[in-house]
Structure 1
Amino acid sequence: QVPPCESWGTMEKLAKEKEVVGIYISGHPLDDFKIEMNTFCNASIALFKDLESCVNKELNFGGVVTDVQHRITKQGKGWATFILEDYTDSSEFRIFGEEYLKFRHFLLKNSFVFVKAFVREGWINKETNKKSEPRLQFNNFQLLHDVMDSYAKKISIQLNIKDIKNEKIMALNDLLTMHPGSQILNFVVYDHEESIKLNMPSRKKKVKISQELLEELENQEVYFKLN
């Protein structure tokens, strides 16, 4: 008889699945942050295989830290390598100097992070006159858990005029009333056949944009957009 033991946490379970099978089976570590990843990221990890097209652009990307190594140079300065993984790929990054000192507390294995980085041209070797690979300037790290509060300022509810029925409006009103807050609520009523689109900002009602609210909207098959 197998002795009783504690159940694995979600991250441990998924890590074991990938270790044994090579892929995630029961889900993906980022599934709880799908909306943040789709809404606020303008780049995926797969993009880092070829950064030449991104020089002089700021990239917003997120993922789970699957490995991290904190190191010290001979001069006693700290730096780190870390592997970040999203739905598309995984990539190793290096961070040095002031950027490392500022953001090192985010570099923990299994932490979910949102990163803003500027892509700069590579250094030019004075002896060979050859340019190195583009380099990243890390401007900000943030926990993915905090991204919704930081960047979601307005939610626009999309309503097809043909689907507007009393029952649906009442259910939607009840749901929005359950999530009071300070973020702007806007309604977009549209009719594709007549090419009509009407923006209707709510004057009195504001909401708290949260994962729970967005999941309930999806359950009610209500389309929305975050700004």
Structure 2
Amino acid sequence: QTTMNSLFANDSSFQITHPEIPKVEKWSDLERLNKERDLIGIYLSAHPLDNYACILNYVCTADTVKLNNLQTLNGKEISFGGIITNVREGQTRRGSPYTIFKLEDYVGSIEIALFGEDSVNYGRFARVGLAVYVTAKIQPKRYRPEELEIKINSMSLLSDVKDKLISKITIQIPLFEINETTVTELSALLKNNSGNSLLYFQIIGEDAHMNVQLFSRPMRIDVNKHVIDYLKNNLSIDFKIN
């Protein structure tokens, strides 16, 4: 052991070089979250749809659980959203294009198939990592009426329609709950989450029929997950979107 350790002890030309740590670009939030899911099977630090949680939970009329049971939605116009996690594209034997994509939300996933013109019109949104908002009708298939399909009417990026879909929020506060602490917390919340949605306050008196609605002219708000979490965790405050 001593011989091995001292073999190059007197050789000043021998130096051990330490490996350099390569410089790499920082992962985007989506890349980081995908790595978490690939490693442990779940999103750990956040969810890639958190920026759109309000739309999915308060605007959309369906989620992937409902979409996996189309009988309950037969004949209905619906809206839903999620993130694209897998895409397959090709052509049928007759040369018609098709796109099959997997959409995930907070509660599950579903595969949706687009054929012909639908593939041409909406296939451009079927890209892994895109968060999309979809309106559709549940109806019988053209050639197999005993089966139901999701017939897409429109498809948009959630980032493009977020402000349009959440036009306003009304914060409902009982009169007796208005105090210095509540005012300070709400002021900080609104200041730190400015955005484009209209902001209303509804002050509720002791009698439920006695209330006043106020419109905040100078301030607009970003109705995001942080805002909703605060309002939901404050038992004395309620809210209404749109």
Normalising to structure 1: TM-score of the pair? 0.80
* Residue pairs, 1:181-220, within 5 angstroms: 184-191=198-205, 194-202=207-215, 205=217, 207-211=219-223, 215=226, 219=230
The Cα shift of 1:153 comes to: 2.4
Gap change, CA 1:135 and 1:159, over 3 Å in 2: same
The whole-number CA distance in structure 1 between the counterparts of 2:219 and 2:44 is 35
* Residue pairs, 1:40-55, within 5 angstroms: 40-55=59-74
- Secondary structure of 1:150 counterpart: helix
- Whether contact under 8 Å (1:148, 1:209) holds in the other structure is no
- Secondary structure of 2:43 counterpart: coil
4+ runs of 1 displaced by more than 4 Å? 166-181, 216-223
Partner of residue 72 from structure 1, selected from 83, 86, 91: 91
- Which residue does 1:165 correspond to in 2? 179
The residue identity in structure 1 corresponding to 2:157 is L
Deviations 1:137-170 (A, max 9, x none): 1011111112322122222121121111256447
- Which residue does 1:128 correspond to in 2? none
Which protein shows a greater Rg?
2
The Cα shift of 1:34 comes to: 1.2
Query: Are 2:130 and 1:111 aligned?
Result: yes
Instruction: Note the residue ranges of structure 1 that are not aligned, 5 or more in a row.
Output: 126-130
The residue identity in structure 1 corresponding to 2:124 is H
- Whether contact under 8 Å (2:172, 2:203) holds in the other structure is yes
The residue identity in structure 1 corresponding to 2:132 is V
The whole-number CA distance in structure 2 between the counterparts of 1:139 and 1:17 is 34
- Secondary structure of 1:141 counterpart: strand
* Residue pairs, 1:14-163, within 5 angstroms: 14-123=33-142, 131-163=145-177
Gap change, CA 1:31 and 1:170, over 3 Å in 2: closer
Provide the aligned length of Structure 1 versus Structure 2.
218
Identity of aligned residues (%): 29
- Secondary structure of 1:7 counterpart: coil
Gap change, CA 1:22 and 1:189, over 3 Å in 2: same
The Cα shift of 1:217 comes to: 7.4
- Secondary structure of 2:55 counterpart: helix
- Whether contact under 8 Å (2:166, 2:223) holds in the other structure is no
The residue identity in structure 2 corresponding to 1:55 is N
The Cα shift of 1:121 comes to: 2.2
- Whether contact under 8 Å (1:185, 1:206) holds in the other structure is no
The Cα shift of 1:136 comes to: 1.4
The residue identity in structure 2 corresponding to 1:200 is Q
The residue identity in structure 1 corresponding to 2:172 is Q
- Whether contact under 8 Å (1:184, 1:206) holds in the other structure is no
Normalising to structure 2: TM-score of the pair? 0.76
